């Protein structure tokens, strides 16, 4: 059997990767602040890279912003996947992911604003949180845990609840984010077909600590 050769990035490739990452992080900061029309020069200054470096990676500001949102969602989605490893019950997987995401709005407000400022676009995305929520709902239906005739319509309700909850928590900082999130999660579980007592019990279970969550 031929030995597989692993490519080791050279110095130039590592520098290009750092430049792209710096641009993506700068874009996420502007998106979180709702500054979607920021000049490219300002983006490069925030990333501490030259204007020419921008066009080595992206054709436009819009392309950079799309990459920034995708990066934030994928990294957080991967954390959720890791946090649910070993859970056999699709209802528990769905509930845990929703409860953790609800708590995200306070613990990582920049990432939260990236999600909220792009919410409607992201509902139909094939990357990030939306496909994972859709997968969990469909898994629950197949396992007989959820009882919905159209998972896609259930996804509409779940997405709307997630976005509105996030905005509510930003608008009312005095509100308990954990309690509010768990109540919404219980309502969603009942909508998906669980009994009230079971929905409540699932939402009282302990949650893993997603340390180091950043946008």
Is pLDDT at 89 greater than 80 in this prediction?
Answer: yes
Q: What is the pLDDT of residue 213?
A: 44
Structural domain includes residue 41: yes
Q: At 168, is the pLDDT very low, low, confident or very high (cuts 50, 70, 90)?
A: very high
Q: Which domain holds residue 125?
A: 69-202
Three-state DSSP class for residue 208: coil
Q: What is the mean pLDDT of residues 87-103?
A: 94
CB 181 within 8 A of CB 151: no
Does residue 209 form part of some domain? no
Residues 184 and 1: beta-carbon distance below 8 Å: no
Domain for residue 154, yes or no? Answer: yes
In a domain, 15, yes or no: yes
DSSP 87-139: ---HHHHHHHHHHHHHHHHHH-HHHHHHHHHTHHHHHT-SSSHHHHHHHHHHH
Does residue 31 sit within a domain? Answer: yes
- Which domain CATH number covers 37? 1.10.10
Residue 210 lies in a domain: no
Do 108 and 75 belong to one domain?
A: yes
Is 4 among the domain residues?
no
pLDDT value of position 214: 44
Return mean pLDDT, the chain. Answer: 87
Q: What is the pLDDT of residues 43-71, one digit of tens each?
A: 999 999 988 889 999 999 988 988 888 88
Where does the chain show beta strands of DSSP type E?
A: none
């Amino acid at each position: 059997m031929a030995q597989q050769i692993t490519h080791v990035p050279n110095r130039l490739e590592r520098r290009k990767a750092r430049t792209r990452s710096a641009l993506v992080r700068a874009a996420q900061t502007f998106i979180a602040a709702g500054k979607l029309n920021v000049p490219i020069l300002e983006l490069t200054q925030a990333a501490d890279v030259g204007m020419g470096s921008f066009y080595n990676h992206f054709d436009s500001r819009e392309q950079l912003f799309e990459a920034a949102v995708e990066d934030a969602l994928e990294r957080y989605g991967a954390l959720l996947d890791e946090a649910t490893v070993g859970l056999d019950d699709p209802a528990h997987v769905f509930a845990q992911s929703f409860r953790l995401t609800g708590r995200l709005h306070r613990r990582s407000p920049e990432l939260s604003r990236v999600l909220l400022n792009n919410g409607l676009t992201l509902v139909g995305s094939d990357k990030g949180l939306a496909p994972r929520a859709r997968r969990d709902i469909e898994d629950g239906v197949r396992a007989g845990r959820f009882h919905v005739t159209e998972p896609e319509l259930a996804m509409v309700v779940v997405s709307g609840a997630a976005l509105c909850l996030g905005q509510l928590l930003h608008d009312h900082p005095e509100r308990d984010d954990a309690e509010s999130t768990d109540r919404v999660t219980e309502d969603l579980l009942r909508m998906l077909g669980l009994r009230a007592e079971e929905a409540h019990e699932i939402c009282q279970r302990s949650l893993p600590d997603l340390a180091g969550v950043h946008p």
